[in-house]
Amino acid sequence: MSEAANSSKFSIIFPVACTLIGVFATSTFTWLTSYQTASLSQKNACIQRIDTQEKLLREKGETFLAAMGDMLNYSIFPKTSTARELSENAGPLIKAGIVMAAYAPPELGLRSMMISNSVRAGALASMHKLDEDAAMETIDESFGKWPTAFYDALNALDKQRQKCE
């Protein structure tokens, strides 16, 4: 009879133990799947945020470079320029540089603002309201360092993107 009692206990305990193991395994796999999904979502959100920053930086950079091209096409501050002509040609570049500073990292923003300021100084110099040599010096200083600052900003975004975990 004790063998029958042991057999009866085993027939009760074994299915219960299997059920508990199954519940534990299911819970563990569900938690693991949820954790992996959350980690992947966090990584994707990080990458998407950096992609958005890069897109905005490139768009503002394009606007800035287009305004710079228009300004260069106009021919740097002709002596016969009127204040209105200068405003029409220098204004968009000055504005684009200031807007660029709002979306750019500090170094690129500084370079963009320097270009805006040097274009303003050049416009004032062409109207004989500022020294021409000083204006040309600020133009040479600011324009030359902008491309490097722009590519450094893009590289920094790439490094941030790689760190997304």
What is the number of other CB atoms lying within 10 angstroms of the CB of residue 149?
18
Cα–Cα distances in Å, from 18 out to 8, 28, 164?
16, 15, 41
**Quick check: 145 and 96 in contact, CB under 8 A?**
no
- pLDDT: which is higher, 29 or 114: 114
The per-residue pLDDT for range 101-158, each reduced to its tens digit, is 999 999 999 999 989 888 888 777 777 776 777 777 777 777 888 899 999 999 999 9
Please state the domain extents for the chain.
2-163
Cα torsion angle, 99, 103, 109, 111, sign = negative
Residue 128 is classified by DSSP as T
Q: What is the pLDDT of residue 76?
A: 60
Q: Which of 1-10, 16-25, 85-94, 145-154 has the lowest mean pLDDT?
A: 1-10
pLDDT > 80? residue 35: no
* Banded model confidence at residue 20, pLDDT cuts 50, 70, 90: confident
What is d(CA 18, CA 24) in angstroms, rounded to the nearest whole number? 10
45-86 per-position pLDDT tens digit: 999 999 999 999 999 999 999 998 888 777 665 666 677 777
